[in-house]
Amino acid sequence: MPSARKYRKNPRSSRKIVSDLRQGDIVMAVAGGSRGKRQLKGQTGKILRFLGGDRSRAIVEGLNIMTRHQRQTQPGKPTGKIQREAPIHVSNLMYYVEKLKQPVRIKHTVLADGKKVRGYQDPKSNEFVQIVDEAK
C-alpha cells in the first residue's frame, strides 16, 4: 500500500510583505517591464491604491499601462482598446524625491516628543529628512 505524501507549506510563500510606501506617495519603478515598449525602470508616478490582503501590489498612476481589447457586451460600456494601469509589485518600487531627482530608501525615527515619523537619509548632507504627508 503506497504511503500518502505529506507536503509542507513553503515558508517563503507565507511571508508577509512589509512596505513603507503609502497611498499618495510618488514612487519610481526600479525594476520590471523589460519587454519592448513596456520599459518601466526609471518611470515615476503616484500610488493610487494597493491590492491584495498583504498590500504586495500597487497600482501606480501612469505606470505599467496595459491595453485590453474590449468587445461590447452591454450598451453604454466602453469598447475598443481600453488602456489602464496594471498592478506592479511593491518590491519594484522606491520612494522618489523630486528635490533630489532620485529614489531613496525610507527610514523611520522617533522624534523627541515620542512621535514615530517616516523620512530618508539625504545623500549629500547625510542628515535625516522627514517626509511630510499631503493627506494629513
Give mean pLDDT, residues 91-114: 93
Helices (H), the chain: none
Pick the residue with more confidence: 38 or 80? 80
Q: How confident is the model at residue 112 (pLDDT cuts 50, 70, 90)?
A: very high
Instruction: Identify the pLDDT of residue 132.
Output: 85
Classified by CATH at the fold level, domain 26-130 comes out as SH3 type barrels. (2.30.30)
Cβ neighbours of residue 65 closer than 8 Å, sequence gap 6 or more: 38, 83, 84, 85, 86
Give mean pLDDT, residues 68-94: 90
Instruction: Give domain limits for the chain.
Output: 26-130
Amino acid identity of residue 130, one-letter, is: Q
- Cell representation of residue 43: 518611470
pLDDT higher than 70, residue 3: no
pLDDT higher than 90, residue 15: no
Rounded Cα gap, residues 78 and 114, in angstroms = 51
Q: Is the dihedral of CA 123, 30, 46, 118 positive or negative?
A: negative
Are 58 and 88 in contact by the 8 Å Cβ rule? The answer is yes
Q: How confident is the model at residue 83 (pLDDT cuts 50, 70, 90)?
A: very high
